[in-house]
């Protein structure tokens, strides 16, 4: 597993870099074929190729992941792949190349891989715009989804996730000379500042809703009243009702300054993943690892899409470690084998439930 992980990490596969992602996809396809047999297919996406592998037979379970990472090309030179003191470090080891490798090696322990599919996408870190359709198609076909994203703190699997989205608020004012005619302008920066206060007030922590302005830009030079400003906002919600409320609140934003105009783009594009979507699969996982812990988390994944379809989904089955998206990202070596075998055990339990009639016969 460590050898295969090194291979994937040392390619570097940042989101929105199609050439690097194409190399990563070809390498991942080769890995799947070498470890599992059969043929891996590259599925075209404008952001980069997605990788799909099938063990043949009637689809029964989808193992889902992504091979894009948040780290730009060149990160590896500064932070190379290393194994030391029981930890693996390097760009993408935890989110989520380690989970992919573990899942592949876990499935390799099964003599019969029929009914199993693997889908590894190229744009999860940037919203899954080119992969959502194929994710939903294969989730519906398989009827059960195991997401190989990194585990929650302490190795807990992720039984629920908040819905999440990004909003972009664009403010248009009117430029003027800041010294000679400041009142002749409409200050987009001042308007944006007032909008930030309104936007922040949309949060409802008691309902699990966070609305967080994260990026802002305005102006051109220091002696011109700014005519343009932009505010980017991260939104997380636990329920569909809160999704609708927040989206309506953004649509209802109105300017405070005479002459200012506002345009809002975005929505909550990853629906909430309720814990009910994972309950059956989590119970199966507890049969395999009795002390396994489950928890709901604020971050989103492609599991949000599959759960929203009504397809049973269990997330966080990947690497045990931490530091996702950060320079201290790491994976714990000692947990790799157990997590690989957990994925394999869940696949066996799902297929057994189907054979015995214990699995739900209807799908959304």
Orientation angle between helical segments 336-356 and 279-288, nearest 10 degrees: 120
Q: What is the largest CA-CA distance in the chain?
A: 82
Cα–Cα distance measured from residue 238 to residue 162, given in angstroms and rounded to the nearest whole number: 5
Please list the residues that pair with 273 across neighbouring strands: 161
What is the 8-class DSSP label of residue 187?
A: -
Q: What is the dihedral of CA 97, 98, 104, 109, to 10 degrees?
A: 170
Q: Residue 68, Cβ neighbours under 10 Å: how many? A: 29
- 349 included as an active-site residue: no
Catalytic residue among 4, 68, 117, 329: 68
Q: Quick count: other Cβ atoms within 10 Å of Cβ 288? A: 16
The answer to whether 13 and 67 have CB atoms below 8 angstroms apart is yes
Q: Is 124 a catalytic residue?
A: yes
Is the Cβ–Cβ distance between 226 and 192 less than 8 Å?
no
Q: Of the listed 123, 124, 238, 269, which one is catalytic?
A: 124
Residues noted as catalytic: 68, 124
């Amino acid at each position: 597993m460590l050898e295969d992980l090194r291979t994937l990490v040392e390619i570097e596969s940042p989101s929105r870099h199609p050439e690097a992602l194409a190399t990563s996809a070809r390498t991942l396809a080769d890995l799947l074929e070498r470890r599992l047999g059969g043929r891996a297919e590259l599925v075209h996406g404008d952001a980069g190729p997605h990788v799909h592998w099938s063990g043949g037979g009637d689809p029964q379970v989808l193992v889902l992941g992504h091979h894009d990472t948040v780290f730009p090309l060149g990160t590896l030179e500064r932070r190379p792949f290393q194994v030391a003191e029981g930890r693996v470090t390097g760009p993408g080891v935890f989110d989520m190349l380690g989970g992919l490798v573990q899942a592949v090696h876990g499935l390799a322990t099964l003599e019969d891989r029929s009914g199993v599919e693997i889908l590894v996408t190229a744009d999860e870190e940037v919203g899954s715009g080119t992969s959502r359709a194929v994710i939903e198609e294969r989730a519906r076909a398989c009827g059960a989804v195991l997401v190989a994203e990194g585990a929650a703190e302490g190795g807990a699997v992720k039984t629920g996730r908040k819905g999440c989205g990004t909003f972009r608020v664009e403010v248009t004012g009117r430029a003027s000379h800041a010294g000679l005619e400041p009142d002749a302008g409409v200050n987009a920066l001042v308007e944006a500042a007032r909008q930030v206060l309104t936007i922040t007030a949309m949060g409802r922590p008691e309902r699990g809703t966070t609305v967080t302005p994260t990026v802002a830009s305005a102006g051109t030079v220091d002696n011109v009243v700014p005519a343009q400003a932009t505010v980017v906002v991260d939104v997380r919600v636990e329920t569909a009702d809160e999704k609708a409320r927040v989206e309506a609140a953004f649509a209802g934003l109105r300017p405070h300054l005479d002459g200012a105009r506002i345009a809002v783009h975005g929505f909550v594009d990853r629906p909430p993943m309720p814990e009910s979507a994972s309950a059956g699969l989590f119970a199966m996982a507890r049969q395999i690892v009795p002390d396994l812990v489950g928890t709901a988390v604020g971050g989103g994944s492609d599991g949000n899409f599959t759960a929203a379809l009504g397809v049973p989904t269990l997330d966080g089955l990947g690497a045990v470690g931490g530091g996702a998206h950060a320079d201290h990202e790491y994976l714990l070596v000692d947990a790799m084998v157990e997590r690989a075998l957990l994925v394999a055990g869940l696949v066996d339990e799902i297929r057994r439930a189907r054979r015995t009639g214990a699995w739900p016969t209807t799908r959304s």
